[in-house]
Structure 1
Amino acid sequence: MVLGKVKVLAICFDSLNEHSLPAFSGGDLVTGRVVVEVTGDVRVRSLDITARGVAKVRWTESRNAGANTAYTQNYTEEVEYLHHYDTLIGDERGKEAPGTSPCPHQYSHVVSYSNRALATSFEGKHGSVRYWVKAELHRPWLLPVKVKKEFIVFEHIDINTALLLAPQAGSKEKTLCCWFCASGPISLSAKIERKGYTPGESIQIFAEVENCSSRVVVPKAALYQTQTFFAKGKGKQIQQLVSNLRADALPQGKSQSWEGKVLKIPPVSPSILDCPIIRVEYALVVYVDVPGGLDLSLSLPLVIGTIPLHACTPRTSSISSNCSTLSWLGLSERPEAPPSYSDLEISESHRRDCLHSCGRSEGDGDGSLLTYITEFRYLPPPLYSEVDPYPDPVEVYGDGDGDRDVRRPDTCPSR
């Protein structure tokens, strides 16, 4: 009997993004199929799948220990985020499964995430965060057939939070000097609308640069990505330029204003802030390039997220803030107008009846007072008039000199 051969062993994912890549986020189920195609009669012992997600860090440092000796120190660290195992054909006791026919077979698999938060997939110089599914087809007396396929995980970062919508601003100043000759200061102040952005957005930069020195300086701005790797209590950091812009040169005694100068964010990895061994951070650096001297720089931290800015956010205006709050509470976005005083006005006859009943039950205690308050708490305010409707009484008297004097009752005539 001629033994058959395994022609195809492949892993297919059910969910693909717009770039035809398997991409998932925290809480999703990684679903897919393992495709097996054989020729002839193939005896299969088991078909197993394993899903793993691991963050790894590794770098090497060489040090001199003497004149002719040197040693190398390796720094490695690993954090496991996902480990899932399942048997699609056969059982864990190794019982041989029946042979498969030459036609293709598809076996569904489901991988559930663990309850802990995952780290976003990342590839760096000294470390990475990777997720994959591996299928192994075991046959009697033969080496197993293996296939491995990676998938992408995004741990979402919503920039529609109070912390990431807060404006970022700062200012600095420095004075250039050479031996005993000192020039005037160079001042820099910069501000951006918020801290959180997503790839593809543009950062509007508002800045003021004043050059009181004796040199010609150039204002610039740059977006940097900082990768930090941790292993064995030590860290290694790499900074990469993502995007930059340059303004016109600024002569001595001149100033320059940026009224929303635009710096676009290219497609970059989201920020990684919750992984214990890998951190990916971003910062916008606005600086003044000083020829022949140290640059004056101002760093504004940024967070690159995955959920873009909503159309109606609390930072836009008070009207949009009220709109967001009402929509969250399930209320109407247009508040109801208050009642007019004419609708609440009480007739004079009803007023007299209420006062009369209140006077009769004066000794009844709190009940009559409550009735009075209930009836009159919505009374309209009195009409405005420049003539006092209740003037104080006056009396006229004479003092024998032929003139009339007028006084109020609370005053006394001069003696």
Structure 2
Amino acid sequence: MTTIKKIEITYNAINANNTFTNGDVVCGQVTVEMAKDCQIDSLYIKFKGKAEVRWTERHGQTTHVYHSKDKYFSVRQYFIRDKNSKGERLSWKHHSLNNSSVVPPGIHVYPFSFQFPHQNIPSSFKGADGKIIYLLEAVLSRSMRMDSKESIAMNFVLLSRWTCFPLINWADKKMKLFTSGTVAMDVNLEKSGFFQGEGLKVVAFIKNDSSREIKPKYCIYRKHSFFARGKRRVHTKDLIKDVGTPIPPSASENVTKVIPIPQDAEPSILNCSIIKAEHRLRVYLDVKYASDPEIKFNIFILPAPQVPAMATAPPAASDFGNAFYGNYGNPNPPMWGFGPPQAPAGSQPGGPPPNYATYGIGCEATPEHRGRPRGTQNPRCPMGPPKNGPEEISQPLRGRACGLRRQAATLKWNRPWAPGRPQGRPAPW
């Protein structure tokens, strides 16, 4: 007959999507069911976050394994502590638990609470060759036996407060085709940051001075990059494609297209050293018998604002009914965390969802900014971290064309037949 019938971890959700962010408190309980008396060396729960990458490559007869790991934090909360674990803190103020203890049969509940750090840690992620995970793991140790473990993952979303600064970027492109004429397009984005489920508005001016009809096409795709031992593994996937209204020959039109960001699109991740999750918008013209002129925009997908759920207190811990074990029915267990228990501003339960200004996006280009060299600062969109609030992730975005970007692509057809022209479309990256 098995002595330990069950070890279970449960925690209370704080919103409808069961996600956590910086400063949120995780409250829950560890439930242990015993079939008979059991002598336990230690019982604790661990709260940890890490990123890990692993993939293999075959080179001839040799298989190379590429592996890397980043550890963000690891905190233990003891319910029953082994005498050898002197450096750890007890969850309960009972000195009698410092040594091995005998737990009677029945169901025993141990409440706990942790707080997510106010650090710039990346959001939860799971990809083909890596993951970013935040875990609660309960460990029960007995003498001369394997440890009994149980774990549960939590979904963490970074509270982003990054700064957007508009830039103007022009790109010209010349190619040889089967006919004469020119094609040009000028594409504008109001901003570079978008919430899940939000509409991405694309405004383009397309000039078709050719003898053929052309179609504007749009594609939002993601790029996952994994890094280990100086190598990089890349995976790309198209998330959504759309086609605009055809432009007739010898015509110019202003085209506006709203592309919805998928509701289940994962947030962009730029603040992890071994995993990157990036998103791009690709706008191109479908030209027959030629390479399609295209313009790419780096966009940043933000998590949709969450609606807080009604928090429920964890059930009271069981009382062993013995003076040796003491009373485990404390409804307010101590909270181990990484900072003050209050949540950061803008994430209080019951408040309105944050607007774009909270995330530092939605800035528009000013007249005095036009013609400014690439990478210079717009006075209306200051760069750098705010004086108050959690650490930003604006640094990885600097040097890129964020916010309003204008690019142009021009085609010139010189002669009916152009030997040696490139075949097919260029690579997406």
Relative to the length of structure 2, the TM-score reads 0.64
Per-residue deviation, residues 124-180 of structure 1 (Å, max 9, x unmatched): 112111111111222345443221111121112236x443xx4777564544434xx
Query: Structure 1: how far apart are the matches of 2:83 and 2:12?
Result: 26
Judging by fraction of residues, say which structure has more strand.
1
Equivalent residue letter for 1:283: R
Q: Which residue of the partner structure matches residue 99 of structure 1?
A: 103
Q: Quick one: which of 267, 291, 315 aligns to 1:270?
A: 267
Quick one: percent identity of the two aligned structures? 27
| Cα-to-partner distance string for 1:183-230 (whole Å, 9 max, x where unaligned) | 112111111111111101001110112222343322111111111111
| Counterpart for residue 157 of structure 1 | 160
Give the Cα–Cα distance (whole angstroms) in 2 for the partners of residues 252 and 314 of structure 1: 35
* Residue 302 of structure 2 is aligned to residue 298 of structure 1: no
- Mapping for residues 5-404 of structure 1, pairs under 5 Å: 5-19=3-17, 21=18, 23-64=19-60, 70-93=61-84, 95-102=99-106, 104-113=107-116, 116-158=119-161, 161-163=163-165, 166=166, 172-178=172-178, 183-259=180-256, 261-266=257-262, 267-306=264-303, 309-310=355-356, 315=363
Distance change in 2, residues 1:220/1:290 (3 Å) = same
* Distance in 1 between residues matched to 2:203 and 2:123, nearest whole Å: 32
SS in 1 for 2:16: coil
Q: Is the Cα–Cα contact under 8 Å of residues 82 and 113 in structure 1 kept in the other structure? A: no
Query: 2 CA distance for matches of 1:189 and 1:287?
Result: 11
* Residues 263, 177 of structure 1: alpha-carbon distance in 2 compared, 3 angstrom cutoff: same
Distance 1:137 1:97, change over 3 A: same
- How far has the Cα of 1:247 moved from its partner? 1.2
CA contact (8 A) 1:11 1:35 kept: yes
Distance 1:252 1:176, change over 3 A: farther
Contact between 2:22 and 2:118, CA under 8 Å: does it hold in 1? no
In structure 1, runs of 5+ residues without a counterpart are 65-69, 323-415
- Cα gap change, 1:116/1:156 in structure 2, threshold over 3 Å: closer, same or farther? closer
- Bigger Rg over Cα: 1
- The count of corresponding residues between Structure 1 and Structure 2 is 304
Q: Secondary structure at the match of 2:180?
A: strand
Contact 2:217 2:243 (C-alpha < 8 Å) held by counterparts: yes
Question: For 2:145 and 2:230, how far apart are their aligned partners in 1?
Answer: 45
Q: Distance in 2 between matches of 1:59 and 1:268?
A: 24
Higher helix proportion = 1
Tell me how large the CA RMSD over aligned residues is. Answer: 3.0
Per-residue deviation, 1:74: 2.2
Higher relative contact order (CA 8 A, sep 6+): 2
Quickly say closer, same or farther: Cα 1:202–1:314, change in 2 above 3 A: closer
TM-score (norm 1): 0.65
